[in-house]
Amino acid sequence: MNFKKYIAPNGALFWPAVKLQIGRAYGANSEVMESFYRLITIALPLAIVSACLLGYVLHSQSGIFREFQAVLLSVQWMLMVCLAVWCSTFIVLTFSLNDLPFIGLLLIAIAAYFIGNIASWQTADATILLAGITLGKGTRFALMEDGRWKMEDSGLVTFLVGLIVLLAFSSFWHLDMTNNYYHGPRWMGLWDNPNIYGMLMGTGGTLAIGLLAANKKLKIKNVKFNRFLGIALFMMGVGLVMSYSRGAWVATTMGLLYLAWSYGKLKWRWVLTVILVAAAVVCVFWHSTADDGPWYLKRLDFSRPSAQHRVSAWRGAVQMMRDHPLGVGWNHAVETYDKNYSPPEDGAAAITMNSYLMLGTELGLPGLLCFVSYVALALKQKSGVRSQKSESFQQFGIRNSEFGIKTACRASALVFLVAFWFDGGLFELPTAAVFWILLELGAARGGKVESGELMVDSPKVA
């Protein structure tokens, strides 16, 4: 007996059965129910992402939201149980062998949370990590059918455009941050940290460029669509520059290089030129700025504490992982670093600016290895994707109909992966939610090709 056929780990049997039963219960015809569920599968993930992105605004502006948030935090262990159940369900429904490292990470994170002492139960890091994972897996399940993207109805493209709309909308809307540590010329958008803002703007810009490339190369022709993406790209590009986030700048550059490499347009002499220019800038501005100097010049001086505290934290985190290979537990990395590894004055918190080292110190080397392994498998390209140089790009696109959209998602996820090294973000809900969604969509299998035409329709943009 083929148990997989009946268990349907990819949701092929489960989801249509649910739709059928609800449709029968309410007497709706199939076309109406199909349109309804198509809307839900796009609108619901976007609504949840909106709540994650606007969390800081809601917390600062709404007393009701603050009370609701306090109630959730007071029963955080119960929230963890609910998230674990949902996440496990989505893993079963979308299971593949590449998920094995991911399952290992999930088990280690949950075990570290419940085995740790009562103080660790109050940390938000574990909850945010699990919430981001659940949202990513849930979005992948909602936009998949029979293990493949629902690309024939443009649902995936519509969802990604909706995500770009959210990020572009937040690029020019800024809150009053008079008393904030970062208050000054650095833009922060809807958040209290310009590095978070810069990461999201860089990711949105990379995603827009990836969709533009897919629109041009893979015959998703729509002039209005291109104009919309161009406007959104300009808005997010300005936000990225004005964030003065060096980590976001580097991460966005890496994402764009990945896009160029994926399309066979990367010229290595350009990469060498960028490296040489960056090295020259570092040398020129090293120990050359005053404390009262312009912000845009101080951001180029890597001898300042903002950069050197990070370097010291990297060194201390490596020593901590050597001494505690199984981790120190949730919410103990900063405390352990401050007590035992002699950080610079007021520099202990710098360890939180590197998400990889936070994973390694809190969950141990096994947790870090599981995370890196899963990400590597998710971003791994098949050997045949770029191998046939003699093909025209049209033939190339027909042979790999999912290539353009998947590459855009992967490049955008790569922006986060690079930024996580410099500025953290894996344990911040806005960035974690978007990262896990893009990573899961980039890891999913693509749509089908029929009659030599690509089955991806661009969304209608008025």
- What is the pLDDT tens value at each position of the chain, 462 positions in all? 443 344 444 444 445 555 555 554 555 556 666 777 778 888 888 999 998 888 888 877 777 877 877 777 777 778 888 888 988 888 888 888 888 998 999 999 888 887 765 444 456 788 889 999 999 999 988 886 544 554 444 678 889 999 999 999 888 887 766 565 655 678 888 888 889 999 999 999 999 999 888 877 655 466 778 888 899 999 999 999 988 888 999 999 999 999 988 888 888 887 888 888 888 888 888 877 777 777 667 777 777 777 888 888 899 999 999 999 998 888 888 889 988 888 888 788 888 889 999 999 999 999 999 999 999 988 886 534 444 444 444 444 434 447 788 889 999 999 999 999 998 899 999 999 999 999 998 886 544 433 333 333 444 433
User: Distance (Å, rounded) from C-alpha 238 to C-alpha 153?
Assistant: 33
Query: CA 388, CA 159: separation in Å to the nearest integer?
Result: 31
CA distances 357 to 88, 369, 428, Å, are 26, 11, 15
List, in sequence order, the alpha helices (H) in 75-188.
76-93, 100-115, 125-142, 155-171
Is the separation of the CB atoms in 91 and 102 below 8 Å? yes
DSSP state, 116? S
- Tell me how long the chain is: 462
Strand runs labelled E in 306-436 = none
Residue 228, judged by CB atoms within 10 A of its CB (0-12, 13-18, 19+), counts as buried
- Residue 50 burial class via C-beta count within 10 angstroms: exposed 0-12, middle 13-18, buried 19 and up: middle
Cα dihedral 93, 47, 192, 258 sign:
positive
pTM: 0.82
Query: What single-letter DSSP state applies at residue 118?
Result: G
Cα–Cα distance for residue pair 146/8, rounded to 1 Å: 9
- Tokens 């109909």 correspond to 401
